Structure 1
């Protein structure tokens, strides 16, 4: 079968690898029909981080079950399934608490495991990891496209909003106009925020933020952006959703917080320095991290199927698996927000 393989900085190649096959009785083999390139994938693509040449890549996917192990009970051949970016056993202390991202036997697709930018995948812990999508979605490409972001970016945006305690009628600031920031905007609107300020710089993305529920947009930088947001919120946002992960953005998030407010951070951290002094004096909370996407999947899937949630617009370019390298280049050069891959 074909799969995307990381070969080094700016080198993603589609290669023939052994077919996906059952290795454990709890496995399933899934033919992948839809996958994505994630902003997180751009870190190894740019040569940053510990990704090793030869590893498969891709952690956002869904598809059709082709085979199941002898101990799989809730999944059957022919089911359409969606997986979160992480796999989990469903039985450990943390899975039982709804924190699958900390599963003691879990991990991320790719990163030395099977990758989702491929023709098929071995899904370990199939009963715990996979969620069955109702068969009536078949043939409805618009609906399938709306479901696909639940694998990661919509779950991450939702996690930021939940972690920051977004409430109906509240004031929210979203830092970042990438796919996660846009989904965080959508999540804040879904949770009833009255004012949603998005801080970003890309016109196309900010236009989409407006469609997703942003009431205000800030395109300035640094202290000027902070001052604008403080004025708009009359002293700070009750919830700040940090969706970038840079040192400057976490500091900005804390500065934008209203005393007693909370920062929900989901941006993968790079060079973080947390301003504890300001947080201490203003009683500002900091919560979030790697989203427990599998725990959120049933709720978010039900919302999409009911027509109350549609993050599909973040997927603004589609490539075939053979063209996946071009998809990486488009995202790296900010020519696309998020790329869908159709094997």
Structure 2
């Protein structure tokens, strides 16, 4: 098959690799019809994180089930299914708690599983991972575009909102205007927030934030942004969604949280330097809650809203490429010419 492969910073190639093979009675082979490039993929693309060279890339697959193991009960050959960014078994202690990202039988999509930016992937734990798309929606391209973000960014934004304690009538703020931050705005609106302040630096992205439900936007940085949010709210907000992971973003989140408030963080930590200063959290009794999002735990709940037409995160896709266009997709996201790239192998 053909797959996007990492060969070093700035070097993504589409090349022939061995097809993934079914090796477990619990597994499945999926022909990828839709996938995406994630903001986290840019870390290795920019040389900011280590990765094996060469290695297959991508972690947001959706497609048609081609083959299933004899013990699989949740999907059949020919079904349309999506999958979260990590494989989970669905039966261990942590999966039963809704912490699928801590699954003791967990796995990723790279290596012999194929890499999701490819023609096929192998899912070693089909029942605990794959989310079947109902037949009546399985060939509706508009619906599929709306479902694909549930594999990562929409579920991650929702995790931030849940951990921040967003509820009906709440005032909250979202730090970050990438795809996760934008989905955080959408999630906060879905949970009933009355006022949503989006903090970011890009007009096109903040326009989508407003489309998703942001009532205010703040484009300032650092202390200026903190002061602006405090002025807008009379002292800060009780619910902050942090969707960047940099120390500057976490400092902003702490600065705009009201005493006794909560920061729901899902930005993967990077560029923290000497570490996070917990002083502001300690002094104002601000709760820090979150982590890597167990998006599989939210899949059916969010899918139900997409299928009934009340949730549509698809505007985060601002560029579409085929498999040969994946290297261009990385370039576009790296240079901020695209928010998130949809890939249709």
TM class by smaller structure:
over 0.9
Corresponding position of 1:176: 176
Corresponding position of 2:54: 54
Q: Deviations over 1:97-145 (max 9, x none)?
A: 0000111121332377531000111111101110100011133211110
1:271 Cα deviation (Å)? Answer: 3.2
The whole-number CA distance in structure 2 between the counterparts of 1:233 and 1:103 is 40
The whole-number CA distance in structure 2 between the counterparts of 1:110 and 1:210 is 36
The whole-number CA distance in structure 2 between the counterparts of 1:143 and 1:165 is 29
Q: Partner of 1:44: helix, strand, or coil? A: helix
The answer on 1:260 being equivalent to 2:260 is yes
Name which of 327, 330, 333 aligns with 1:328: 330
The whole-number CA distance in structure 2 between the counterparts of 1:262 and 1:139 is 41
The whole-number CA distance in structure 1 between the counterparts of 2:42 and 2:130 is 25
Q: Partner of 1:329: helix, strand, or coil? A: helix
Contact 1:319 1:340 in 2 (8 A): yes
Deviates more, 1:147-156 or 1:269-278: 269-278
Corresponding position of 1:19: 19
The whole-number CA distance in structure 1 between the counterparts of 2:94 and 2:111 is 21
Deviates more, 1:30-39 or 1:268-277: 268-277
Contact 1:51 1:111 in 2 (8 A): no
The whole-number CA distance in structure 2 between the counterparts of 1:167 and 1:111 is 40
The whole-number CA distance in structure 1 between the counterparts of 2:110 and 2:212 is 30
Contact 2:20 2:112 in 1 (8 A): no
Corresponding position of 2:155: 155
Q: Partner of 2:40: helix, strand, or coil? A: helix
Contact 2:20 2:113 in 1 (8 A): no
Corresponding position of 1:106: 106
Corresponding position of 1:309: 311
Q: Partner of 2:304: helix, strand, or coil? A: helix
* CA distance 1:25–1:316, change in 2 (3 Å): same
The whole-number CA distance in structure 2 between the counterparts of 1:85 and 1:57 is 11
Contact 1:55 1:113 in 2 (8 A): no
Structure 1: gaps (5+ residues) = none
Corresponding position of 2:129: 129
Matches within 5 A, 1:1-343: 1-110=1-110, 113-272=113-272, 273-343=275-345
The whole-number CA distance in structure 1 between the counterparts of 2:291 and 2:52 is 24
The whole-number CA distance in structure 2 between the counterparts of 1:187 and 1:151 is 15
Tell me the number of residue pairs that the alignment of Structure 1 and Structure 2 aligns.
343
The whole-number CA distance in structure 1 between the counterparts of 2:113 and 2:48 is 19
Q: Partner of 2:283: helix, strand, or coil? A: helix
1:279 Cα deviation (Å)? Answer: 1.4
Quote the RMSD (CA, aligned, Å).
1.1
Deviates more, 1:79-88 or 1:275-284: 275-284
Contact 1:245 1:268 in 2 (8 A): yes
1:47 Cα deviation (Å)? Answer: 1.2
The whole-number CA distance in structure 1 between the counterparts of 2:9 and 2:231 is 43
Contact 1:30 1:65 in 2 (8 A): yes
Name the TM-score, length of structure 2 as normaliser: 0.97
Deviates more, 1:104-113 or 1:199-208: 104-113
Q: Partner of 1:107: helix, strand, or coil? A: coil
Q: Deviations over 1:290-324 (max 9, x none)?
A: 00011111111111001110000001100000110
Q: Partner of 2:56: helix, strand, or coil? A: coil
Q: Partner of 1:172: helix, strand, or coil? A: strand
Contact 2:174 2:197 in 1 (8 A): yes
The whole-number CA distance in structure 1 between the counterparts of 2:111 and 2:255 is 34
